[in-house]
Amino acid sequence: MEDITIELNFTPAKPGSTSGTLKVQHGEEILFIDTLNLAKDKARSQFIDKVREKYSGLDQNDLEKKLMRVADQELERGRKNDTQPPSERDNWPLYRSQLALEKTDSELVGWAKEFLRRSDLVSQIVEHARLIGVAGETELVVMIYLIGISRLLTRPLAGEVMGASSTGKSYTIRQIAGFFPDETVLQAHRITPRALEHMPPGSLVHRFVVAGERSRLQDDASAEATKALREMLSDGKLSLAIADKKLAGGLETKIIEQDGPIAYIESTTLGISQINDEDRTRFILLATDERREQTTAIIRQLAESVSNPLDSDIPDSIIALHHTVQRLLRPCKVVVPFAKKLITSLPLERLEVRRTFGHLISFIQAVALLHQYQRERNERGQIIATHKDYDVVRLYLPGPLARSLGCELTQGAKDLLEVVKERERFTIPDMVGETKLSDNTIRGRIKELQNTGQIIKVQDSKGQTAAVYAIAGDPPPLNGLVLPVLTETKDKNTYLATPELACGQSVSLCE
């Protein structure tokens, strides 16, 4: 089947329509026939999956190229006939990436493919982040990059980068987002409630949306303002029925649909407990490194950059390489054969684990997708994740997962806990004066320590008198999260889980 030359023949349902019947032929022999809308990315992907399910030996890349060519021809014919609205095709990030890739120097494309085949691919991404000015923050760099990669999944990821002011949240996000070409990433300092619904149709499909800092107002109004975002993250699309004025007067209901899915990231100075629950459970909680060692690393890198600057071509060449890498990567379903072995790796008594386990699986899929030039595929053309993909997640994800599950404090809350342990009683103004952090930052960390049972309030505020807090007498342990080691067995794609501690509890051995 690999050597068979196939052709695709499309018959529109009506002149100028992108909906119709598509045949896969070998000469005069019809191998497969189905109906679909060529303008829909999801419909094309499903068509390819169906064809490859029946004829697994067909070359997937060849099939995708021919299908895109047919789609282009029909869309162009529709424009010439002027029988349908302007095509959405030009807005598709994946289509725009394909066009850009065709214009990219072949030598750069070759380098990008070699890069995608490196065994130390993740380490190289971290090193490239350092070369463009990101000091340290290895966990944050890897997590942001993988969230961006997850835009190509059916269920992408969303991240919240937490930290005090001036800790480099926005800078790190902006630098790593720069690894993604313009057509794949949408950067905005602020996204208003109705912004997503008014984007050009198709422009958010498999897009990495990078927002600014979350509003400090976390009331019902702010929760409503982010409702569209939550729906896009959860459902992969946005469907709205809105009342609109008719030209002749009166109102009519219009249906607005905006296809996704999107990956998403933003930053905040809020503490974990200050983010409304509707949003918090959908995000993986990342954090900047606020240790003194990290401050030293940042200062040293800044000094090095001005005393011994890199050749200006180096950052540009790194960005060009990564833009080409992102354009080479394609959406694909990822099979995680060892997923069942991870069921007991998270504390099942916590309701949050229902979403957090999905985050764990999506990160594994994102790593496998990044390594798609190295991974085997099954008979349906799906990428098979390996223990190497899980090892990357196991190295970098436990901290963010633990914060999402309440098994671990953020670094800022840990630092504050060490300070207050030296005091019998303390107030928020006391901590503001001692740490030199803002009142809002201290309040967020105090709330986090309260919610995790590390401190208690012993006196409410009254008038000008601040509330008084103290260390809890018997605080619950916060042991973090350790994901189990997976050992590959003799049977291909079969794994055993070695138990380790998860949130302070032992994990039973998977059978």
Contact between residue 211 and residue 265 where contact means Cβ atoms under 8 Å apart: yes
Pairing of strands 383-384, 29-37: unpaired
Contact between residue 161 and residue 221 where contact means Cβ atoms under 8 Å apart: no
Pairing of strands 262-268, 251-259: unpaired
Separation CA 318–CA 43 (nearest Å): 35
**Over the Cα atoms of the chain, what is R_g?**
26
Query: For residue 509, what pLDDT is reported?
Result: 25
HEC secondary structure over 447-482: HHHHHCCCEEEEECCECCECCEEEECCCCCCCCCEC
Separation CA 179–CA 182 (nearest Å): 9
Q: Is the dihedral of CA 71, 76, 81, 85 positive or negative?
A: positive
Structure-block tokens of residue 212: 């600014």
Contact between residue 151 and residue 205 where contact means Cβ atoms under 8 Å apart: no
Q: Is the dihedral of CA 316, 146, 330, 79 positive or negative?
A: negative
**Over the chain (511 residues), what is each successive 10-residue block's mean pLDDT?**
73 76 83 84 85 82 84 67 52 90 93 95 95 89 96 92 82 94 88 74 89 66 64 76 62 75 88 72 85 83 78 83 96 93 84 87 96 91 93 92 82 86 89 86 86 88 90 82 74 51 35 23
Query: For residue 354, what pLDDT is reported?
Result: 85
Contact between residue 500 and residue 398 where contact means Cβ atoms under 8 Å apart: no
Query: For residue 68, what pLDDT is reported?
Result: 83
Separation CA 230–CA 492 (nearest Å): 38
Nearest to 305 by CA among 140, 128, 130, 174: 130
Structure-block tokens of residue 429: 């103004």
Kindly report the backbone phi and psi dihedral angles of residue 27, in degrees, each rounded to the nearest multiple of 5, phi listed first.
65, -125
pLDDT tens readout for residues 351-401: 788 888 999 999 999 999 999 999 999 888 899 999 999 999 999 999 888
Give the three-state DSSP class for 387: helix
pLDDT tens readout for residues 273-320: 677 777 777 888 898 887 788 888 888 888 887 887 766 677 889 999
Pairing of strands 29-37, 19-26: antiparallel
Cα distances from 284 to residues 204, 280, 502, in angstroms, run: 21, 8, 17
Query: For residue 494, what pLDDT is reported?
Result: 55
Kindly report the backbone phi and psi dihedral angles of residue 195, in degrees, each rounded to the nearest multiple of 5, phi listed first.
-65, -45
For domain 106-331, give the fold: Rossmann fold (3.40.50)
Separation CA 410–CA 379 (nearest Å): 44
Cα distances from 197 to residues 181, 189, 202, 440, 454, in angstroms, run: 23, 17, 11, 33, 43
CATH of domain 411-471: 1.10.10.10
Contact between residue 177 and residue 210 where contact means Cβ atoms under 8 Å apart: yes
Kindly report the backbone phi and psi dihedral angles of residue 98, in degrees, each rounded to the nearest multiple of 5, phi listed first.
-65, -45
Structure-block tokens of residue 125: 């991404």
Q: The sheet that has 284-287: what strands, in order across it? A: 185-187, 207-213, 262-268, 158-162, 284-287
Kindly report the backbone phi and psi dihedral angles of residue 268, in degrees, each rounded to the nearest multiple of 5, phi listed first.
-160, 150
Contact between residue 148 and residue 325 where contact means Cβ atoms under 8 Å apart: no
Query: For residue 86, what pLDDT is reported?
Result: 44
Containing H/E element for 242?
strand 237-245
DSSP string, 293-308: HHHHHHHHHHHHHHHS
Contact between residue 416 and residue 455 where contact means Cβ atoms under 8 Å apart: no
Separation CA 4–CA 7 (nearest Å): 10
Query: For residue 390, what pLDDT is reported?
Result: 95
Q: Is the pTM of this model over 0.85?
A: no
